[in-house]
Structure 1
Amino acid sequence: MPFRKPRHLTWREFFRRLWVEIEEDAVTECAAQLAFYFLFSLFPFLFFLVTLAAYLPFAPGAVDAMVERLGPLMPADALQLVRGHLESLVSESQPRLITLGLLVALWSASRGVDAFRRALNLAYDVPEYRPYWKTQGLAIVMTVAGSLVIPLAFALFLLGGRVGEWAAEHLHVLNVYHVVWSWLRWPLTACLVMLVLALCYWRLPAVRHRYQFLSPGAVLASVLWLLTTWGFTQYVEHFGRYNVTYGSIGGVVVLLLWLYLTGLIFILGGEVNAVLEHAEAEAAQAAGKPSPIEAPHLVAGVPRERGSGRERLAFWRWRRRMAERASPEVEPPAKVQESPDEGSRREEREEHSSLH
């Protein structure tokens, strides 16, 4: 069932809460950190992705289709770096699946997912209660899931395109099919991004809530990411001169800026979901219904008795931060206006004490 905005939450109140969350959670700073981790994990992820795709029997052209589809989705300078790295990986012989280098690449690629997890915890205003091995295992599992979803989806796109081309050729509508398929690839790409984001918004934060493929945050982030990528590509190609300013590392700067915009939009989608789910929880609590969002490590606002010291420390830090947000500014007490009789008696007492 698609997520609906609570009736008591007006659009003005929604944007006010969203703006407050963006300021308090330091979304732009988190996006900068996320861009660094994305850059750090991008090329190990491509290495793991190409190696894994080579062992998929029904995706022989998935990597080529993926490189072809990256053209409209990335600036030309950034795409040149990624394309060169992918071509060097594809030209090499198939490495063994279980190698130390592949495991290191998987671990490095999962750092971006782990940084995204911390940003989503800030969006939902919850401390991380899960042990270290579970959070890192979750990051690795999500990285492997993304590595499987991407080549499989592109393989299905490639297979569907060939089947459609064969059918269009027999129906003598091949030219029309090429036009329709060129436009149909955009919503398919948006659905792929939406699927990956829906999985991340569902499993990464330290809360329990229902899975929604068409959540407002995932839909907004997917569409906004495609539009922003297209706009940034047009700006770089027609107005930006990063090679003049940064010299030989101009392509790296463009790639880093694109990753920064990507992280900013993905975090913004998580903030939107968090604001709406918190508002829905408030409405459910007022109506005496079960809350759709749950923090399993809290029982009536306090941590569970059985927990590690790391969990309790994270909770008390979170509770102190929440108290600082909720506490109003203390104003100095207003000065009481004295009556004329009280003022004259006070002056007499001061004069008498000065004489003695």
Structure 2
Amino acid sequence: MLNIPLLLIKIGLLAYLLLPLNLWAANYENKLIDPKATKETKALYRNLRKLSKKHILFGHQHATEYGHGWAGEPDRSDIKSVTGSHPAVIGVDFSGLSGRPPEAIEKTKELLRKQIADTYDRGGVTTVAWHFSNPVSKGGFYWVDTVSVAAVPHLVPGGSHHEQYKQILRTLGDLANSVKGKDGKPVPMLFRPYHEFDGGWFWWGKPHCKQEDFVSLWRFTVSYLRDSLQVHNFIYAFSPDCLFNTEAEFLERYPGDEWVDMVGMDNYADFGRNGRYNVSAGIRKLKIVSDYAQKAGKLAAFTETGLESIPDTTWWTNTLLKALKAEKMRLAYVLVWRNDTRSATHYYAPYPGQASVPDFIQFYKDPYTWFETGLPKLYR
């Protein structure tokens, strides 16, 4: 005869014994890939995960370096001029750290240190793009037919330019380890190398290297920075463009969960570029990113988007905000691209007098979106 009370006791005991294993597995998934990450970097990662359940941080590329019609003014951004607050996330670029004379590189380091440290001291977040000039050929970071060389296989271990690549990474590592806040701590950064790799416009893009070479390059980059150069203030972000329709396609060049902290997507095409909108497709792709992050214990983000010149004056609330709120996704931040200081049309965020300012104010006031002024202490 079945002893029901005894069976229930046994089931309860088994569940109790398994609980620590389940908790351990969850904690393992939610850890950074760098076991030696600084306390501040771990805190940022943990707090971004927590905030993404109910909020999203708004970001703008090069926001405090320059804007529409100005450059190099302290504590200024077009977003602050419109709302009273800087963006919560500010994008910088490591593009100037290679392929130039040493004195130019040192000057770039100095400017980057100040930008990144100032953002940290105010309580904001820095995300780093890397428009990396081709170290094997001319052509810059873009792929230029008849000029560019498919460089990725030359940079991986055993490649002809591998030692040169290590030297470039040492320059990045030196900068990362030398950026300190007023508290003397190394500043955490969201490092997003080799973005939009599923397209062909960059030399590291899909048409110009094999999948295994791209994965090898990614893994070596992380390993060399983290393990050899002792950079422990990076959160590593993997972000293709929007040329995928399934999780399998999104993960086609994924280097593995042990090599990535954050997954994201750059998507201008579905959100109004050249007057074409396919917002439902954009939402579906964002959901693939968000769902994978939750399944794998990673952060997720909308790493780049925007509408150049913002001709749609209600784009912020009717397109972007609606998309971000759809499907109950968990996204740590959304970043729009830069406002060029000289161009009359190349801008992605409003500035005083721009036609979308009233709508952007509504976007700013929405409880879901967070800007720098309202942030909690992310590094504790």
User: TM-score higher than 0.5 here?
Assistant: no
Relative contact order (C-alpha < 8 Å, sep 6+): which is higher? 1
> Which structure is higher in helix share?
1
Coarse TM-score class (shorter-chain normalised): under 0.3
- Give the TM-score taking structure 1 as reference length: 0.26
> Which structure is higher in strand share?
2
